[in-house]
Structure 1
Amino acid sequence: MTTCPHCGSADIRKSRRHKAERTWRRPFPVWFRCRECRKRFLGTDWTLAGRWAGGVAAGLVVVGLAIALWPEGGRVESATTAPVKGLPETVTLPASALQLSGEALRAAAERGDPEAQHRLGLDLLQSYRETGDPRTMAEALRWFKAAAEAENPRSQLLLGALYENGRGVIQDFEEAARWYRRAAENGEAEAMFRLGLMAEAGRGLKKDLVEAYVWLNLAAARGATEAEARREAVRRELRPEQVDAGQDRSRELDRRIPLAPGEGGAR
């Protein structure tokens, strides 16, 4: 559920986008206005995203997920047949998965390349949107899970979103939190943000405002634009010693958690 990042209220409505306003690289962007504090903010239209199974807003869901989950510029890395020197021959060097399609992409996925598995899953997700065949969705999930188990953070984030929203799978908040945590521990800022929201609400894991503050703090530091205001709302609910403990844990995790693909800058 979308809430106001300024005051935390769920009493919001959609607002018309002004001509000068930009939506950056957010999937399904929509402007909201909070009825409580009257402030406007940019969010994600999850209702629009949820219509993909019925064929409404054709093509937007997979494109939106691709923009959100692929590296900057929309490029996805996959596999060639060249083995990495000094490692087993089944381990392959990365190359652009956008150069692979059809049987070549499937072959790379079957060789065990996580990026090819993720790309194949996206292709199957698009096919499921067009056909509604549950077997196609089941195969897409199989490839996403294969990539996620190989620590592909984009597949982990996508699985978390599917389980949280119950799209193509049974809604399962605990499973969503589990995948968000794995993606967050692999550096995905959006997963950190979603995990923080779940800890704040007690959805899928025990309600813990200090833990929520930690993940929202990390998400804000890693570039999740909505996380800063939500972090501040949570901080106001904490005692000073809890804030200190949360910041200590944030620093510890920030040193340990790697940067997601495409991130850079000082740590």
Structure 2
Amino acid sequence: MIDKQWASAVEAVADIQDGASLAVGGFGLSGNPIALIEALLAQGTTDLSIVSNNCGVDDWGLGVLLNAQRIRKMTSSYVGENKEFERQFLSGELELELTPQGTLAEKLRAGGSGVAAFFTQTGVGTQVAEGGLPRRYNADGSIAVASPAKDVRVFEVNGTPKEFVLEEAITTDFALVHAIAGDRHGNLVFNKVARNFNPLAAMAGRVCIAQVEQLVEPGEIDPDRVHLPGVFVHRVVEVGTGIEKRIERRTVTASSASTSSVATTGSGQEGS
């Protein structure tokens, strides 16, 4: 078996070159591989094409790369928490391939599984299938690049003809993911909602780099607890359990007993 442990995040991302494509795990701010993202920021890599559910917030997650104008294109399903994202997209500085969330997840899974494409009903009858969605604007607000029309076919489902749109799989040069635990052979365990996109991103990357809070010896993780087998993971970096985790939005209200209760929306530390 191969020991996949690397000494630091800086060393693990050192060969990610300008113009590379990345699949990055995380859901909201939960499960963001922030140590790897910050190492990539520090080394100055630019012109990146990134596939991720969202682009973090203005000062955290993938937002730090966005603010430094290191991202050329985002393929995402949700971009509503980042004002700088909106500014760059509407001014023509950033290309965006907006993709339905479930479709994005399946495109990553398909890429990691060796499936070239698949048919889905999601997007039928909309610009997702028909084309014309703005991907990049000109500085004057006109559309510079629009999404193309996709192949739509009819299949019979339970005796009823239904339309399905063809979606191509996604593979990337690298994947950056966060796991709560892993071993030196690359077997990973994710915590709660951090499991949403991290395993899929890991599968899609030709070289997967995983930051883990706790690194253990092979055999210490019960095989039944492994969420992603080491065959998909190429480098593992231990970042420790004290790594910073952000909450997107916190609302505090006074209770009837004159105490306070906290309701958290978005992704919190429990799911990171």
Q: Above 0.5 in TM-score?
A: no
Whichever structure has more helix as a proportion of its residues is 1
Larger strand proportion of the pair: 2
